[in-house]
Every structure is written in structure tokens, then in C-alpha cells.
Amino acid sequence: MARTPEYVSLVRGGPGIEASASPPGRAAPTATAALHDVTPEVRGDGGQPSQTDSVSSGNAARTIVTPGSVDQTARAVWDGTTKVFLAIPSIVKTLSFILGTLFAALIAYSEFRGQRVVIEPFEVASDLRDGGFTSRAVANKLTDHLATIRNTARTSMRRQQFVPSSSEAPPKVLALGGDISIDAAFQYVREFLGREPVRIVGEIATTRETRDASSVVHVTTRVKGRPPKTISGPIRNLDSMLLESAEHIFLHTQPYLLASYLYEVDPKRCLGAIQYVLRNEPATDDARAFNLWGLLLLNAGDPAGAVERFREAVRVSTDTDIRARAYTNWAAALYRQAEYAEAIHTVQQALAADAAQADA
């Protein structure tokens, strides 16, 4: 009988089978014998051999692979695949829960990280509305000016969030069985912690001048708990009046940040904002204000006066970063006065403060 590859692989010494020598006096098995070796034998008890029964041929034992064993392997693979697909809904639910928790945590961080200032729509005179100056447009323009002030100021202090009222509330996602929404929960927590947002309201009215029949615009801005500010002028100056209103808002919400902004764009008005910071709370901004005052004097050619302000900034500061900046500026003012030894000593103090900041 001619040997086919399937049969050759079952003969001792053939491909894939570990070779073994035949006992002395015994002929090597023929292809027919090899076929006989893999034929299932009936057990003495009448039972059939299992799919993994071992059949002996000489001194070699082999595991029989039958069609039934292939079916069992395929069934095991199918069962495993089915279990994976059945587990997908549970996996999706778990991932959804994790992502939802992270999303809620991000919203909470955004909500409570700093005080929010909400710009409510201004009441606008009807003739201005007809010209395109809607309440929403005015609020958005005011928000743009607030963002310009905040981004121009060069300071490391935390900035408040200014948002139009339409984007003030977090997403209305139902929680706790649909009885309580996330925005209601945040509102309750903010009230409990005393972190209600500052709300800015105002109105824009017009009057008509009798001399030339031109309209005069009056922009009134109100910050809760503070006296209102009204700015008047021709309608062509409405944008600059809204910028002045934005400065008024910063004066009563983050006055130091306004001072830092004015230092960059209008140093002559900066001192007034600095003095307002020093007269009002919070006292934690005083060190920054004294340091900024020293920079104003140093730029104005008064290094001696600047030294006094930097010294005061160091004295009242509880922030190692601000103290290091004040020491550095103090050393620069001493250098301007040719007091080199004292300037070097001050620089060493600045380095020590900076090291303390790095270790904190």
C-alpha cells in the first residue's frame, strides 16, 4: 500500500513522531500495521474508547485524535466566545459608570475651584435693540472685555471665571433615580458652602440731547453689594463704555488683577487700583500690591521709594513665591542705587526664599 502523508506521520521514525528502535527480532511495522494501530478497539466491558484513549503499539503509546475531539474543541471555543459577548453589556455598564463619575468630578472641580461671576443680560432701551444691541449681545461683549483684562494681567494669582448666565448652569443630568438633578445638587452645595456666584446686572438707557437731537447712552453696571457705576457718552463710544464697565466689575471682584492689567496698559491709573487693594479685603493681596507699587516707583526713577515698598511686600507676605519676587525686585532697586553689597545680600535672601518655595 502506498504511504500517504497522513499515514507516514504515524509510523515510528516518520515526520512529527519521535523515532524509536524496534525490539530485536521484530520487524518494523508496516503501513497496514500502522493503520491497525489507530483503529479503536472494543473494551472488554463492551464500551467504546474515549476520545483521548491511549492505544499501545509495541513500546510506544499515542493519544488518539478522533472527530469527536475536534468537535469538543470547537464547542469549547464557541462557548468561550459566547461568554465574552455576553459579558460585553456588563463591561459597557462599568465603563459608563467610570466615565460618568469622572465627568461629574470634572464638573464639580470646575464649579468649586474658584468663585464664578455671572453676567446677566442687560436691560437695553428699545431704540438700541432695534439697532442690533440686544441684551445678549451686550452681555457677551462685556464678557469679552472681562476676558481681555484677565488675560492681559501678568500675575500668578488664580483668576475668577466670568460667564454669561446662559452657560452658568452645569448640564441637567438626572441622578439618584431621577429625583434630583446634578445642577440642583451643585446649587445646594454652593449655597451650603457660601459659594454662590457673584451676579452682574445692569441696563443701558438713552436720552436725547435737545441741542442736536443726538442720543446719549447711559451704561449702568451693578455688582451685588457695591454701589452702581453709570457711564455716559455718545452711542459710538458704547464699546469703550463697556470696557470701563468691565474695569468696574474687576475693581469690586478682583481689584489686584485690575491693578496688574492697568500696570500693563495704563500705569498712570495703576496706583489708584493698588491703593484700593490695600484699603479693602482680602489682605492676602497686600503683598502683591506692595510689590507692584515698588515696580511702579522703580520704573518712574525712584529706587529708594521702591525699596520701601518691596520691603513692605516681604514683611506682609505669607507666600514664599511672592516673597522671592519681592526680594529680587528689592535687589534690583538697590543695584540702581549702587548699593552692591546689600544688593548681593538681598539676592541671597531671594534665592533662599526661592529654595523654600521649591521645597514646599
Give the C-alpha separation, 35 to 48, whole Å.
Answer: 18
Q: Could you count the other beta carbons within 10 Å of the beta carbon of residue 99?
A: 10
* pLDDT at 351 (0 to 100): 86
* pLDDT at 30 (0 to 100): 45
Give the C-alpha separation, 357 to 360, whole Å.
Answer: 5
Beta 198-208 vs 123-124: how paired, if at all?
A: parallel
- In the chain, what percentage of residues exceed pLDDT 90? 38
Q: Could you count the other beta carbons within 10 Å of the beta carbon of residue 85?
A: 8
Beta 198-208 vs 215-223: how paired, if at all?
A: antiparallel
Judge whether 243 and 142 are in contact, CB under 8 Å.
no
Residues of the chain scoring pLDDT < 50: 1-61, 167-178
What DSSP state is assigned to residue 114? S
Nearest Cα residue to 229 out of 238, 216, 214, 242:
242
**What's the pLDDT tens digit per position in 182-229?**
555 655 565 555 567 788 899 999 987 655 557 899 999 999 878 899
Beta 161-164 vs 116-119: how paired, if at all?
A: parallel
**What's the pLDDT tens digit per position in 110-126?**
555 556 788 888 899 98
Amino acid at 196: E
Exposure of 295 in the CB half-sphere (CA atoms within 13 A): 21
* pLDDT at 182 (0 to 100): 56
Exposure of 140 in the CB half-sphere (CA atoms within 13 A): 7
Give the C-alpha separation, 302 to 295, whole Å.
Answer: 10
